Amino acid sequence: MANYQKLAQIIVKNVGGKDNVNSVTHCVTRLRFYLQDESKANDEVLKNTPGVISVVKSGGQYQVVIGNTVTDVYDAVCKVLGINSDSNEENNEKLAKKEGIFNTFIDVISKIFQPTLACLAAAGMIKGVNGMFEAFGWYSANSGFGLLMDTIGSSMFTFLPIVLGYTAAKRFKLDPFVGLVIGGALCMNGIQASTLAQNGKAVYTLFKGTIFATPIYKTVFGIPLITMDYTSSVIPVILIVLFASQCQKIFKKIVPQVLAFFFVPMLTLLFSLIIGFLAIGPIASFLSAIISWIVMTVRNFSPALAGLIVGGFWQVLVIFGLHWGFIPIYMNNLSTLGYDNVMMPFFAGTFTQCAVVLAMLVKNKSKKLKEIGWPAAISSFFGVSEPAIYGVTLPNKTPFIISCIASGIAGAFFGQFNLREFFMGGMGIFELPAMIKPGSNNLTNMYIGLVGAIGSMILAFVLTLIFYKEKVNEKDNSIAQPIKGKVVNLNEVPDAAFSSGALGKGLAIEPSEGEVYSPVNGSIQILFPTHHAIGIKAENGAEILIHIGMDTVKLNGKYFEPLVKQGDHVKKGQLIEKFDVNQIKKAGYPTVTPVIITNSNDFKEVKSDELKDNKFLEVIPKDNN
């Protein structure tokens, strides 16, 4: 992280010190000082200071050109000078993107899981290898080595709430160790529903006679403790950590500083976990009950439709941690009927995840995708799809949807042909032996599972090849001309910061009319209060600055009419601002307008010549793969 405070101190010192500064403001790329005596400023020192691009003197202002980080440097300079920068804070903040609840949720979940993906993939592969060796009869599950392999492979998933407690805490700005303790509390054996059921009789049944009927083994001051099995769960720990982050903010404000070190984490843990166990966990439990009831009702009506629902939505349930609602039905069926055919339509889910990831690897040669894609595909084939879901398909959305569709079609097939499992077997491909009825040589049921798995993989693979599109292509890298007029080279711009290319590569336009059109699909990153400059973040990552005229900041917005606001999403060709060319010229300001890529160093090349198809500029990524 850049040391803006140190840079600010160097700048203030070399503009002549605090006493030489009458005032300071900033525009899109530079600090604008009004100095008592410009001769006291040390131009050469500033120009050679890392973090400073150049120095420009114009119109009574001493301008220190910073670039994209000008807002951070400005705030630091204000602190050094001892002045208040709050009046400009609203203009400096970027408005949150309006992505919608679902996309926001996906973004949060993906970022929480990102640090865990390598270990998730590794643990999944270990579990798959263990299942394979046991299926081949190389050793038994009860052997010493079998126990070790199961422990190593299962630990990551059993204690997943602890891992997620840490990563979620970092995401929600909670003390990470508080997040670890929250995850640990959820994994404590004594609080699990299965443990309470083994150790004592229920005091009473809550919501008796309904789908929410829950045996209550303990109460907390008369409030029923509605329990579930939290090990391997996802959503409960994330929601509790989110709640804890809000508790921590409150307690930091009200607890005296001298006591905060101990009391803030203590109060945060108490409040968040008590509410978590009494309210947040039960909500998840009731959601599981609702889903189980829906599936059983539909299955009685149509096995194929029930299979479609289970197979199609199983991976969505895994994300929310609601798939555990099927476990009691599954276990009860095995013990009473000798088989389960309710949960089994989920069987194709891990295979479709494997197939879509493989198809993505075929279409996308990205090194980053290869690093996580191959282990995730192997893990899914062995029955553990979380690395593929959270690391590959869910962030890309379309492959995840394709996987759910293919899995749903396979689920309908499994439901219609009554796919059954007779005992708790392995995972993924090694679950097939559990579909052979003990004491029977009839392999028909296993063939149904094998046909459904292969068919769903082929369907998912083909659909992904057809519908999955890479996010960046050649067309996305083009930047259209935003203003009609004569195109000129940057070196013709009467401003050293622009003409030297120090602020970025690009071109300039001598406008023939006063209308600005968005050159790309993207979002308005910066709209300066005087409306003379617009910063746009393109979908391909290019940060484009359109600076209308020279020193037009002094017009204080006169002759400019913005049609968008900061944070807005814009389409290529959309009219985003109007300005009066003639009046600006009459006021004595040059109207030549630089259009530059401020993050040019992030690209292999910024092309500005020999372009066709109405391209004004084109950015070439450093890694086209």
**Of 588, 429, 358, which is closest to residue 494 (Cα–Cα)?**
588
What residues contact 104, with CB distance under 8 A and at least 6 apart?
none
Instruction: Report residue 562 as tokens.
Output: 């913005």
CB 321 within 8 A of CB 235: yes
Q: How far apart are CA 79 and CA 85, in angstroms?
A: 8
In the block, tokens 């790309």 appear at: 520
CB 453 within 8 A of CB 348: yes
What residues contact 581, with CB distance under 8 A and at least 6 apart?
511, 512, 513, 514, 591
Cα–Cα distances (Å) from 17 to 40, 80, 81, 246, 485, in that order, read: 9, 10, 9, 42, 44
Would residue 27 show up in a list of annotated catalytic residues for this protein?
Answer: yes
Q: Exposed, middle or buried, 327 (CB in 10 Å: 0-12/13-18/19+)?
A: middle
Cα–Cα distances (Å) from 51 to 8, 221, 245, in that order, read: 10, 60, 35
Would residue 547 show up in a list of annotated catalytic residues for this protein?
Answer: yes
In the block, tokens 């679950």 appear at: 431
Cα–Cα distances (Å) from 310 to 137, 145, 293, 407, 418, in that order, read: 32, 35, 12, 9, 13
In this structure, which amino acid lies at residue 321? G
Q: Phi and psi at residue 221, in whole multiples of 5°?
A: 55, 40
CB 607 within 8 A of CB 616: no
Q: Exposed, middle or buried, 304 (CB in 10 Å: 0-12/13-18/19+)?
A: middle
**Of 165, 201, 171, which is closest to residue 184 (Cα–Cα)?**
165
Query: Which residue of the set 26, 27, 404, 531 is catalytic?
Result: 27
How many CB atoms neighbour CB 237 within 10 A? 32
Q: Phi and psi at residue 290, in whole multiples of 5°?
A: -60, -45
Annotated catalytic residues are 27, 547
